[in-house]
């Protein structure tokens, strides 16, 4: 059969109009079953006539179906757009769930951020504590070493007494001759005035020959007030004078703070 | 759910399916009735009557009778034609001549804004008068091919080819 020819004959337009005889109707239906093009054509003709008839409508009352529903004797609630309403509710519900979800996530996120901040703060505190502890350990170790050095059997302890300028001041020299080192404990010296520094001298007596063995540098910040200096000299006494910053070539004996002779 | 399933449910007296079919076709049915009886309020009432009948006679439809819409169209036309023949209508509309739907709509243009005359006119644009007449007879008045041929005094074969031409034009217009 020539489908295109059949379609263009106009029989399908008559079919949609219901203008065919019962026999012709059946024939169209047989062909429609066989040929999808014919089914498609029928649908398109129907769509066109639906548009024409709809355009001719004077409109329906808003609740026209409700009237009809009542007239048909239904008492049950109108089925209405349950589907649509359900879908609408579902849509709203979904968006509410989504919004709540977002809010929840936001709050969770805030909580986490706060938790992270707290953790970071804790970490910082712990790090500080750790640092302090390490410092203490280091300090203790340093003190330990210092003690051991001072207790060394080779160390000769020389007490340096206060002189005219500062009768109340005192110091001690721990001299390890074998190691050629001297530790000055300057706890009993007053803090030097700005622009001045203590200078330690090794003295040979008779005739008096002073040899500088170093400065008590950074006096203020030395927690133990024990200064380690090299002393390769055959010292007979130790003296500490106040000198201008940087030290002097020869001691200013007028500013001699402490002095002590090495014992026999 | 496709149309066939919907119709099947409706025939099982599923009121939800009935509502869906009503929403799909009520305006078309109302339009057909309005074109025939030319009374807005009465056509809205009759439209309801048609769907009452559709519900009551649901079991009488089967696919061998043709398209579901064609079946609805037939009930609507019969209802409208019965109305035309009724005494009350004759008294009410004594002086109104029976003309084609376009004539009526042209008169109404600008007065009955519920009628989508602009839409209808754009769809009928460029259509020859004999096309409008033929569409009126076949789709709105329910004439058979034979009856239309007699009415228009043309060979029966011409009706077929002409309605094809006319509907092709309408389909083109409706796509614009």
What HEC string does chain A produce?
CCHHHHHHCCHHHHHHHCCCCHHHHHHHHHHHHHCHHHHHHHHHHHHHHHHHHHHCCCCCCCCHHHHHHHHCCCCCCCCCCHHHHHHHHHHHHHHHHHHHHHHHHHHHHHHHHHHHHHHHHHHHHHHHHHHHHHHHHHHHHHHHHHHHHHHCCCEEEEEEEECCCCCCCCEEEEEECCCCEEEEECCCCCCCCCCEEEEEEEEECCCCEEEEEEECCCHHHCCCCEEEEECCCCCCEEEEEEEECCCCCCCCHHHEEEEEECCC
Torsion, Cα of B103, B107, B108, B109 (10° steps): 100
d(CA A253, CA A136): 40
Is the CATH number 1.10.10.10 carried by domain B117-176?
yes
Q: Give chain B's count of helices (H) and strands (E).
A: 10, 0
Q: Are strands A155-162 and A196-204 parallel, antiparallel or unpaired?
A: unpaired
Q: How far apart are CA A132 and CA A18, in angstroms?
A: 101
| Separation CA A255–CA B94 (nearest Å) | 144
Q: From the CA of B156, how many Å to the nearest CA of chain A?
A: 12
Which residues lie closer than 8 Å to A158 by C-beta, 6 or more apart? Answer: A172, A173, A174, A175, A237, A238, A260, A261, A262, A263
The pLDDT tens digits along chain A (264 residues) read 899 999 999 999 999 999 999 899 999 999 999 999 999 999 999 999 999 999 888 888 888 888 888 888 877 666 555 556 677 788 888 899 999 999 999 999 999 999 999 999 999 999 999 899 888 888 888 888 888 888 888 888 999 999 988 899 999 999 998 889 999 999 899 999 989 999 999 998 888 889 999 999 888 888 788 899 999 988 899 999 999 998 999 998 889 999 999 887
Whether A25 and chain B come into contact, CB under 8 Å, resolves to yes
- Judge contact between A183 and A173, C-beta under 8 A: yes
In this prediction, residue B112 has a pLDDT band, given cuts at 50, 70 and 90, of very low
Smallest CA–CA distance, residue A5 to chain B, in Å, is: 11
Nearest to A45 among B15, B52, B167 (CB): B167
How many other CB atoms are found less than 10 A from the CB of residue A59? 17
Chain B hits for A68, CB-CB cut-off 8 Å, are 22, 48, 51-52
Quick check: B70 and A16 in contact, CB under 8 A? yes
Cβ <8 Å between B27 and A60: yes
| Least confident among A62-76, A242-256, B51-65, B110-124 | B110-124
Q: Is B107 helix (H, G, I), strand (E, B) or coil?
A: helix
**Cα–Cα dist B150/A184, whole Å:** 141
Chain A (40-59) residues lying within 8 Å, Cβ to Cβ, of chain B = 42, 44-59
Task: Give the integer Cα–Cα distance in Å for B1 and A65.
Answer: 21
pLDDT score, position B121: 79
Task: Indicate whether this complex's ipTM tops 0.90.
Answer: no
The domain locations on chain A are: 3-59, 75-151, 155-261
B131 contacts B165 by C-beta, under 8 angstroms: yes
- Region label for A247, one of left (φ > 0), alpha (ψ between -120 and 50) or beta (otherwise): left
- What's the CA dihedral at B140, B169, A40, B62 to 10 degrees? 10
Q: Which residue has the tokens 């709050």?
A: A107
| Partner residue facing A11 (CB), from B32, B160, B174 | B160
Q: What are phi and psi of B20, to 5 degrees?
A: -65, -40
Cα B18 from Cα B51, distance rounded (Å)? 9
> CATH assignment of A155-261, given 3.30.200, 2.60.40, 3.30.450, 1.20.1050?
2.60.40
Beta strands A181-185 and A226-230, pairing class:
antiparallel
Q: Are strands A237-244 and A256-261 parallel, antiparallel or unpaired?
A: antiparallel
Please report how the helices B156-175 and B117-124 are oriented relative to each other, as an axis angle in degrees rounded to 10: 120
Place of tokens 């002779």: A261
| Residues 6+ positions from B10 with CB-CB distance below 8 Å | B17, B18, B21, B58
Least-confidence region, from A221-230, B60-69, B96-105, B116-125? B96-105
Domain B1-97, architecture per CATH: Orthogonal Bundle (1.10)
Using an 8 Å CB-CB cutoff, list chain A residues near B52. 68, 71-72
- Gap from A10 CA to chain B (nearest CA, Å): 4
Residue A22 vs residue B111, higher pLDDT: A22
Residues of A in contact with B31 (CB under 8 A): 52-58
DSSP3 helix / strand / coil % (chain B, rounded to 5): 75, 0, 25
Q: Where in chain B are the domains?
A: 1-97, 117-176
CA distance B132 to B137: 9
For residue B60, the 8-state DSSP code is: G
Q: What is the pLDDT of residue B150?
A: 93
What is the token pair recorded at A143? 């003190």
């Amino acid at each position: 059969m020539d489908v295109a020819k059949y379609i263009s004959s106009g029989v399908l337009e008559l079919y949609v109009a219901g203008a065919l005889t019962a026999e012709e109707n059946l024939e169209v239906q047989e062909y429609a079953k066989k040929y999808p093009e014919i089914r498609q054509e029928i649908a398109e003709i129907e769509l066109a006539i639906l548009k024409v008839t709809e355009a001719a409508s004077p409109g329906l009352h808003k609740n026209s179906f409700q009237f009809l529903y009542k007239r048909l004797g239904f008492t049950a609630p109108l089925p209405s757009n349950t589907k649509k309403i359900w879908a609408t509710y579902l849509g709203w519900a979904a968006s509410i769930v989504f919004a709540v979800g977002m809010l929840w996530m936001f709050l969770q996120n805030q909580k986490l951020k706060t938790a992270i901040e707290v953790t970071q703060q804790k970490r910082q505190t712990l790090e500080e504590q750790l640092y302090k502890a390490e410092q203490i350990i280091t300090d203790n170790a340093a003190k330990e070493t210092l003690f051991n050095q001072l207790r060394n059997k080779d160390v000769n302890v020389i007490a340096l007494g206060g002189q005219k300028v500062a009768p109340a001041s005192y110091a001690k020299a721990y001299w390890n001759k074998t190691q050629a080192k001297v530790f000055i404990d300057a706890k009993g010296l007053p803090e030097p005035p700005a622009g001045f520094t203590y200078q330690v001298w090794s003295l040979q007596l008779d005739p008096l020959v002073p040899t500088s063995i170093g400065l008590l540098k950074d006096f203020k910040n030395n927690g133990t007030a024990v200064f380690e200096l090299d002393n390769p000299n055959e010292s007979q006494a130790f003296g500490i004078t106040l000198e201008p910053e940087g030290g002097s070539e020869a001691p200013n004996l007028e500013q001699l703070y402490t002095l002590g002779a090495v014992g026999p | 759910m496709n149309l066939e399933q919907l119709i099947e449910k409706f025939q099982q007296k599923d009121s939800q399916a009935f509502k869906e079919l009503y929403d799909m076709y009520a305006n078309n049915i109302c339009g057909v009735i309005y074109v025939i009886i030319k009374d807005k309020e009465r056509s809205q009432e009759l439209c309801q009557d048609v769907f009452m009948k559709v519900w009551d006679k649901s079991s009488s439809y089967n696919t061998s009778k043709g398209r579901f819409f064609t079946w609805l169209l037939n009930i609507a036309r019969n209802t409208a034609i019965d109305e035309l023949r009724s005494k009350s209508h004759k008294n009410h509309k004594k002086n109104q001549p029976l003309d084609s739907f376009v004539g009526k709509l042209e008169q109404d243009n600008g007065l009955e804004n519920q009628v989508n005359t602009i839409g209808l006119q754009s769809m009928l644009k460029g259509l020859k008068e004999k096309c409008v007449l033929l569409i009126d007879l076949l789709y709105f008045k329910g004439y058979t091919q034979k009856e239309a041929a007699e009415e228009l005094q043309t060979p029966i074969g011409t009706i077929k080819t002409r309605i094809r031409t006319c509907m092709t034009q309408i389909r083109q217009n409706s796509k614009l």
